[in-house]
Amino acid sequence: MLHVLDHPLAAHVITHLRDRTTKPATFRTLCYQISLLLAVEATRDLPTEEKSIETPLEPMLARVLTHEPLVVVPILRAGLGMVQPFLDIFPDVSVGYVGLERDHTTAIARSYYCKLPKVAGRRVLLVDPMLATGGSAVKAIDVVRTAGATNITLVSIVSSPEGVSEVGKHHPEVRIFTAALDRELNAKKYILPGLGDFGDRLYGT
């Protein structure tokens, strides 16, 4: 259930996100751009129906979206950087929040916040830029599933093979959309080649 974004613009944007000399202001713009491409890709299968309209020249049957309102759930804090493009292209989206933080020595994620809208019967898009060990993603999926979500998509910017396999082991039904599948994790559970600590680079901390 892994989809890796294959687009020259995505490759270009990721390169600049990875570059250690990219400053937070530019990093945030690049984060917006890659998240917009991912938002489009991750919603490629939304249902549509025919509607009759009139162009200035003639009547026609055209297609309109018929989906239930989407729910976007960023995993705090870095996931916040990915929300705006979803709001821009799906104005009726609901937003929930799951706060998780990795311990610096163990890399195990600790939960510190959760606020969710109705998720049952809706498509939930969990957004988090980095899928490293997969611990945060698995915990966040557990949380939205407990709240009743059954249609869950995980959207990440950079993923590791270890993280993809961890999510697949615990939640095989979850679709994963990512912009880059990197090589491996280092001893401190950071993604290689990766782009470093996404939250720190996004918020200049």
161-170 and 135-146 are packed helices; what angle lies between their axes, rounded to 10 degrees? 30
Residue 123: contacted member of ligand PRP, ligand URA, none (CB under 5 to 8 Å, by partner type) = none
**One symbol per residue from 152 to 181: x for binding ligand PRP (CB under 6 A), - otherwise; what is it?**
-----------x------------------
Active site includes 106? yes
Q: Considering the rule CB under 6 A, would residue 194 count as an interface residue with ligand PRP?
A: no
24-42 and 8-18 are packed helices; what angle lies between their axes, rounded to 10 degrees? 150
Q: Are strands 97-102 and 109-115 parallel, antiparallel or unpaired?
A: antiparallel
Q: Considering the rule CB under 6 A, would residue 134 count as an interface residue with ligand PRP?
A: yes
Residue 101 burial (10 A CB sphere; 0-12, 13-18, 19+): middle
Select the span of 5-13, 32-40, 127-135, 145-153 touching ligand PRP (CB under 6 A): 127-135
Of 125, 189, 194, 195, the residue at the interface with ligand PRP (CB under 6 A) is 189
Active site includes 128? no
Catalytic residue selected from 106, 110, 146, 183 = 106
CB 7 within 8 A of CB 146: no
